[in-house]
Amino acid sequence: MGARETALRVLMSCRNNHAWADAALKAQLGRDGLVGPEAALCSRLVYGVVQNQQLLDFYLSAYCSQKPDHLQPPLLEILRLGAYQILYLDRVPDSAAVNTSVELAKISGRGQASGLVNAVLRKIAQNKTALPPIPERDEAKYLSIRYSHPKWLVKRLLSILGREETEAFLAANNDTPPLTVQVNPLKTNAESLIKELEGWGVKATPHPWVPGCLELTGAGDLTTLAPFREGKLLVQDPAARLVSLIAGVQPGQKVLDLCAAPGGKSFSAAFAMEDKGEIVSCDLHENKLKRIQEGAARLDLTSITTSAGDGRVFRPEWAERFDTVLVDAPCSGLGIIRKKPDVRYKKADDLFILPVIQTALLDNAARYVAPGGVLVYSTCTILPEENEQVTDAFLTEHSDFCRDGFTLPAPVGEAEGQLTLWPQRHGTDGFYICRMKRK
Ligand SMILES: C[S@@+](CC[C@H](N)C(=O)[O-])C[C@H]1O[C@@H](n2cnc3c(N)ncnc32)[C@H](O)[C@@H]1O
């Protein structure tokens, strides 16, 4: 049973403890001692079920006499796992998907429901080429079921992107993104790293448009490879790498990264600064600073110091002290659904609380920027509530700051001080970056 039993435990942990799937998966794989192909199958099952949850429930409800959400736990999770294997995993025979699901019901103490599991999954298998159509009358509802995203989010996206691009965004969120790394230019260069990775059986190609980044295939657990351990690369989405590029940090500068953990933007800034100058990496949570320190040690960066503190609370010793201040704000994360599939199920209510925190961070950060210095606000979300609306309000209140244009390689080109990146347009995570200058 291995992979399936572990996958079920992970899904139950997400349901009962509101755990994030990626963290619960990592912990459970370790506890159950799953490695290699079994671990890969388990990850595929967990991500696949989370990515397709609403669609799977739609099909399950067509063949189950009880409403899926009325089923006793963990029957719904068992049925979702079985249906996912039947509908998406060609290499798993339908009979194996059905039988292992019946077995899971028995070992989970739901043996009395094994007949139901058997019957529902057999019907799905028999009808898999002629499944019931999703009603298309209500556009948002159709897209919500088809791509398993909450309806409120689909409606919001439709109003921003229109039908065609909304569908492309939702589909991209259910795709597996490429693994992207930034080259540590202090230790190697792209050409040498590509060759070195090849020696480890990893295919690396330069990112189509973001300088200094490589896309990897066949990496497996990258952290076990020498180039990773020797600090020659940083795992980072190309969108995140763009923050230091857009900030335009230079060797010798003083930089404050106000919301820094686990350190990605600080590391990328240190690369751009040739590790010369001063980077203060601050985070609210002291326990997260260790991740920054460990990362800096692995990458051999000495320009970074860490500091715990609430970025909303003024520290007089930092007043007008920094050439560049980065505010990589806590956000809803709706731009990284392709990496954290369960982010989509966040409550819409968060969208009312987060901008208050983001605004307070930005207001305070502004006080640390030296005259003529740069303030960069970024998030890994795509909704204007946490992006343009926050920076617009900030600029209205702070007449000493203005948006400052920048140029990136195609497909972005010239931007008037702010940029929203989208997976379906740019092949990156969904991300927002705004560069502002203090007069
Ligand atoms: C988007 S993450 C930052 C990611 C980081 N910049 C990187 O590139 O690895 C947001 C961070 O803000 C921190 N945070 C949340 N509220 C904060 C506050 N009031 N002051 C400072 N940091 C805060 C969180 O702990 C979290 O680590």
Do residue 19 and residue 57 come from a single domain? Answer: yes
Do residue 364 and residue 413 come from a single domain? Answer: yes
Probe ligand 1: pick from 20, 257, 284, max atoms within 8 Å of CB? Answer: 284
| Residue where a domain stops, chosen among 235, 261, 276 | 235
Within a domain: residue 133? no
- pTM for the full predicted model: 0.95
Within a domain: residue 361? yes
Q: Are 395 and 437 contacting, i.e. CB atoms less than 8 angstroms apart?
A: no
| Identity at 372, one-letter amino acid code | G
Give me the CATH number covering residue 183: 3.30.70.1170
Instruction: Identify the helix (H) or strand (E) that includes residue 2.
Output: helix 2-17
Within a domain: residue 119? yes
Q: Active site includes 402?
A: no
Contacts of 314 (CB under 8 A, 6+ apart): 364, 367
Do residue 15 and residue 95 come from a single domain? Answer: yes
3-state secondary structure (DSSP) of residue 311: coil
For 64-150, where are the alpha helices, taking DSSP H only?
75-88, 94-107, 114-126, 139-146
Between the alpha carbon of residue 416 and those of residues 262, 269, 383, 405, the distances in Å are 29, 22, 18, 4
Write out pLDDT tens, residues 329-350.
999 999 999 999 999 987 777 7
Do residue 322 and residue 253 come from a single domain? Answer: yes
Pocket flag, ligand 1, residue 312 (CB < 6 Å): yes
Within a domain: residue 84? yes
Within a domain: residue 248? yes
The yes/no answer to whether this complex scores an ipTM above 0.90 is yes
Give me the CATH number covering residue 388: 3.40.50.150
Within a domain: residue 134? no
Domain hosting 379: range is: 238-438
Q: Are 439 and 371 contacting, i.e. CB atoms less than 8 angstroms apart?
A: yes
Alpha-carbon gap, residue 50 to 282, rounded angstroms = 33
3-state secondary structure (DSSP) of residue 332: coil
Residue located nearest, by CA, to atom 1 of ligand 1: 330
Do residue 321 and residue 424 come from a single domain? Answer: yes
Pocket flag, ligand 1, residue 283 (CB < 6 Å): yes
Give me the CATH number covering residue 17: 1.10.940.10
Find the catalytic residue in 14, 380, 402, 434.
Answer: 380
Q: State residue 1's pLDDT score.
A: 59
Do residue 340 and residue 197 come from a single domain? Answer: no
Do residue 265 and residue 402 come from a single domain? Answer: yes
Pocket flag, ligand 1, residue 429 (CB < 6 Å): no
3-state secondary structure (DSSP) of residue 404: coil
Do residue 289 and residue 350 come from a single domain? Answer: yes
- CA 120 distance to own-chain centroid: 34
- Between the CA of 240 and the centroid of ligand 1 the distance, in Å, is 14
- Between the CA of 288 and the centroid of ligand 1 the distance, in Å, is 9
Pocket flag, ligand 1, residue 386 (CB < 6 Å): no
Contacts of 225 (CB under 8 A, 6+ apart): 197, 200, 202, 219
Do residue 98 and residue 167 come from a single domain? Answer: no
Q: Are 277 and 254 contacting, i.e. CB atoms less than 8 angstroms apart?
A: yes
Regions of the chain with pLDDT less than 70: 1
Number of domains in the chain: 4
| Residue where a domain stops, chosen among 235, 252, 272 | 235
Within a domain: residue 107? yes
Q: Are 305 and 281 contacting, i.e. CB atoms less than 8 angstroms apart?
A: yes
Instruction: Identify the helix (H) or strand (E) that includes residue 183.
Output: strand 179-183
Q: State residue 221's pLDDT score.
A: 83
Do residue 358 and residue 386 come from a single domain? Answer: yes
Alpha-carbon gap, residue 412 to 210, rounded angstroms = 10
Q: Are 232 and 183 contacting, i.e. CB atoms less than 8 angstroms apart?
A: yes
- Between the CA of 256 and the centroid of ligand 1 the distance, in Å, is 13
Do residue 314 and residue 399 come from a single domain? Answer: yes
Do residue 428 and residue 294 come from a single domain? Answer: yes
Q: Is 59 exposed, middle or buried (0-12, 13-18, 19+ CB in 10 A)?
A: buried
Within a domain: residue 131? no
Alpha-carbon gap, residue 408 to 419, rounded angstroms = 10
Q: Which atom of ligand 1 is nearest to the CA of 240?
A: 8
Q: Is 412 exposed, middle or buried (0-12, 13-18, 19+ CB in 10 A)?
A: middle
Q: State residue 79's pLDDT score.
A: 97
